[in-house]
């Protein structure tokens, strides 16, 4: 029956209490219909967070240690020193403190860095040293102090184009941007211009706009752009984690306990 | 006068109390002479540890997330998914719990991994979940459970060739070896054979044997070998940290306090 649930199937499912979606996103589901029928919907949010966070930190360390220059020299069989930096004492700003943003912050614990978290509701606090909202003044103040910017928020009307030419101009030119979220949160043209003019040290893009990135796109040609084909969430533990959520929720349903990952609670 | 101190200079330095060596190694100094004259020798041990540890973790994450495959596909302008793994739940064995081994362990804190430390004096304990010695039985027992092996010990008679064909055969075939220390701690021929026959998933070598790696060496050709030209310790903070040690020791000398980084205390 595929990944969704159509109306005929829904009408036939008279005793349906829970629809456990295997994705984080539920945009493909008839949420109003499910709501009207009193069906709870849970999602798979969070199961990709450890893998995505590891990838983001691997990409930051690649730029910190210039490991991509190491790859280039290896291909030339060239044993010759090059300059590297340190992540130590950097300021890492994490946009979005959901499961991915929290997983990134957790993994930065031992690195002696300062962290700034950006979230819709800064009054909730968070695991970062500072937590701010999306208002332009605090956000740009944070960008001006940022060495590594990790984008880990959902794509919404507010975040579409959030990292635009102005935001990039506010970042120090040695800053690195890592996008783990959705391509359109970055203004691709502004990113390309900054990469071409030393306006940014580098970007790591696991997601792009457009996506897939067309073969003739200039981003492929830039040495200071790391590109992976939306593989951040690929992990062999995906299905195990999904099964754990489902098994726990099945038990909770039976015992009347709290469900995990609820996105619709009629 | 160069990096050492010759006998004529030493004879002329009648009031010399402290020789502050700018390297970790002091093998180039006339230690017996300095000892006889009551000169304390300090070294620069530890100043490279943060950079080397960041590089080691960046290399582990490269293998965990297959970021080197990402680089390959980017060069081909190929947007096509590939499999990745997770560092989460892995066992990381760190050989040597000096400043580098401790810095690696500290930075693994947030990654949900199990750590095993190997040191000469396991009874001293350490920051890893387990601490063992170099005796063959516990060492091979640890290797059999190791997903990532980080070599961070000095080169001594005991550690020369420590990671030989037997040790590599004991590691699981999916294991990755990261050498941050000195080339001859690994048996290069055994490493090459394992990389060629799926005996090891990969190696990251910041140091090699021979070093520099000759242009016609087979290691350059292997996709599962990451090679950097002994850049682990290169960091812009090198001189600041060195100056901090010297300034603190100068003060301590004056005030009669404890010196840092003492390698010879006559």
Task: Tell me, yes or no, whether B232 lies in a domain.
Answer: no
B57 and B82 housed in the same domain: yes
Within 8 A of A236 by CB-CB distance, chain B residues are: 83, 85-86
Within 8 A of B213 by CB-CB distance, chain A residues are: 77, 79
d(CA A103, CA B152): 27
User: Cis peptide leading into A212, omega within 30 of 0?
Assistant: yes
Of B47, B88, B128, B220, which to mutate for an interface test with A (greatest number of A Cβ within 10 Å)? B88
Looking at residue A216, its pLDDT comes to 97
Looking at residue B14, its pLDDT comes to 86
What pLDDT tens digit does each residue of chain B (266 aa) get? 577 788 888 888 888 889 988 877 787 888 999 999 999 999 888 888 999 999 999 999 999 999 999 999 999 999 999 999 999 999 999 999 999 999 999 999 999 999 999 999 999 999 999 999 999 999 999 999 999 999 999 999 999 999 999 999 999 999 999 999 999 999 999 999 999 999 999 999 999 999 999 999 999 999 999 999 999 887 777 788 888 998 999 999 889 889 999 999 88
Give the count of domains, chain B: 2
A80 touches chain B (CB under 8 A): yes
Q: How confident is the model at residue A26 (pLDDT cuts 50, 70, 90)?
A: confident
A203 touches chain B (CB under 8 A): no
Which is more confident, B4 or A66? A66
Q: So which residues of A are the catalytic ones? A: 182, 211, 230
B100 and B41 housed in the same domain: no
Of A66, A77, A208, which to mutate for an interface test with B (greatest number of B Cβ within 10 Å)? A77
d(CA B132, CA A252): 43
Cβ distance A156 to A120 under 8 Å? no
A87 and A185 housed in the same domain: yes
CATH number of the domain at B206, please. Answer: 3.40.50.720
Looking at residue A4, its pLDDT comes to 78
ipTM of predicted complex: 0.88
- Using the beta-carbon criterion (under 8 Å), do B71 and A68 form an inter-chain contact? yes
Q: Which residue, B110, B50, B52, is CA-closest to A53? A: B110
Report pLDDT digits (tens) over A97-109. 999 999 999 999 9
Which is more confident, A212 or A12? A212
Q: How confident is the model at residue A1 (pLDDT cuts 50, 70, 90)?
A: low
B64 touches chain A (CB under 8 A): yes
Helices (H), A66-120: 67-75, 99-108
Q: A225: which residues sit within 8 A by CB, 6+ positions away?
A: A195, A202, A203, A204, A205, A219
Tell me phi and psi for residue A227, to 5 degrees.
-125, 125
B128 and B246 housed in the same domain: no
d(CA B189, CA A22): 47
A32 and A58 housed in the same domain: no
Domain that holds residue A159: 49-227
Within 8 A of B183 by CB-CB distance, chain A residues are: none
B180 half-sphere exposure, CB direction, 13 A CA radius: 33
Task: Tell me, yes or no, whether A2 lies in a domain.
Answer: no
CA distance A203 to chain B (A): 13
Cβ distance A71 to A226 under 8 Å? no
Share of chain A above pLDDT 70, in %: 99
- Using the beta-carbon criterion (under 8 Å), do A231 and B84 form an inter-chain contact? yes
Q: Which residue, B133, B83, B91, is CA-closest to B113? A: B91
Within 8 A of B217 by CB-CB distance, chain A residues are: 77
A85 and A30 housed in the same domain: no
B35 and B65 housed in the same domain: no
A168 and A211 housed in the same domain: yes
Helices (H), A66-204: 67-75, 99-108, 136-144, 165-170, 188-196
B179 touches chain A (CB under 8 A): no
A16 and A84 housed in the same domain: no
A75 and A185 housed in the same domain: yes
Mean pLDDT, range A219-245, rounded to an integer: 89
CA distance B145 to chain A (A): 19
Looking at residue B266, its pLDDT comes to 83
B129 and B90 housed in the same domain: yes
B77 touches chain A (CB under 8 A): yes
Looking at residue B1, its pLDDT comes to 54
Q: Which residue of B has its CA nearest to A211?
A: B79
A229 touches chain B (CB under 8 A): yes
């Amino acid at each position: 029956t595929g990944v969704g649930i159509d109306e005929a199937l829904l009408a036939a499912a008279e005793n349906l209490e829970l629809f456990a979606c295997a994705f984080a996103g539920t945009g493909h589901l008839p949420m109003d219909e499910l709501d009207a029928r009193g069906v709870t919907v849970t999602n798979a949010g969070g199961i990709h967070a450890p893998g995505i966070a590891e990838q983001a930190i691997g990409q930051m360390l690649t730029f910190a240690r210039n490991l991509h220059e190491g790859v280039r020299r290896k291909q030339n069989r060239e044993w010759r020193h090059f300059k590297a930096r340190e992540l130590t004492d950097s300021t890492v700003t994490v946009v979005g403190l959901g499961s991915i943003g929290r997983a990134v912050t957790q993994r930065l614990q031992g690195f002696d860095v300062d962290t700034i978290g950006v979230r819709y509701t800064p009054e909730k606090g968070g695991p970062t040293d500072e937590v701010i909202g999306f208002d332009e003044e605090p956000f740009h103040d944070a960008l001006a102090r940022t060495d590594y910017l990790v984008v880990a928020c959902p794509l919404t009307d507010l975040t579409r184009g959030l990292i635009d030419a102005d935001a990039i101009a506010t970042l120090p030119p040695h800053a690195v941007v890592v996008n783990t979220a959705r391509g359109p949160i970055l203004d691709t043209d502004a990113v390309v211009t900054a990469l071409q003019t030393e306006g940014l040290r580098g970007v790591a893009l696991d997601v792009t706009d457009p996506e897939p990135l067309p073969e003739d796109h200039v981003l492929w040609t830039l040495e200071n752009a790391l590109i992976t084909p939306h593989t951040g969430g690929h992990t062999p533990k995906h299905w195990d984690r999904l099964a754990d959520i489902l098994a726990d929720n099945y038990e909770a349903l039976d015992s009347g306990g709290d469900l995990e990952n609820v996105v619709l609670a009629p």
